[in-house]
Amino acid sequence: MVVKENIDLEKKWLCDDGQNPIQLRVIVPGDISKVEHYHKSMHEYFLVMQGEMEIKVAERVVKLGPGGLVVVEPGETHVILSTSIDAKILLLMPPPVPGDKVNV
């Protein structure tokens, strides 16, 4: 068991030391990549914890509020278009696979 208390939610990546089956990242405004991309084999999970997020996945634009979840499947292009100023989004994904991410 791994227990972490008082995690710094402003830190970029959490649990990304290669010892865990997933990576965790808290995305806040100003920390968003505007590069549309897809992954060959990985899923990505975006959970809005606070505020709002607008994301484009495979040409569909979705606006989510607190508790909203979007699962991006392998091969689906995606990019976060915008967030509210108070947004906190939890990103879950497997550890990086070399060559898996493809920018469009």
Residue 20 domain flag: yes
Instruction: Please say if the pLDDT value at position 15 is more than 70.
Output: no
Amino acid code (one letter) for 9: L
Residue 51 domain flag: yes
Residue 8 domain flag: no
Residue closest to 86 by CA, chosen among 68, 56, 66, 63: 66
pLDDT tier at 4, thresholds 50, 70, 90:
low
When divided into structural domains, the chain yields a total of 1
Residue 59 domain flag: yes
Burial class (CB in 10 A: 0-12, 13-18, 19+), 83: buried
Average pLDDT over residues 38-46: 95
Residue 57 domain flag: yes
Cβ-contact 66, 37 below 8 angstroms: no
**Cα torsion angle, 5, 29, 51, 15, sign:** negative
- Residue 74: predicted pLDDT: 97
Residue 76 domain flag: yes
What does pLDDT average to over the chain? 88
What's the CATH number where 44 sits? 2.60.120.10
Residue 104 domain flag: no
pTM: 0.85
- Containing structural domain, residue 22: 13-96
Residue 73 and residue 42: Cα distance in Å, rounded?
A: 7
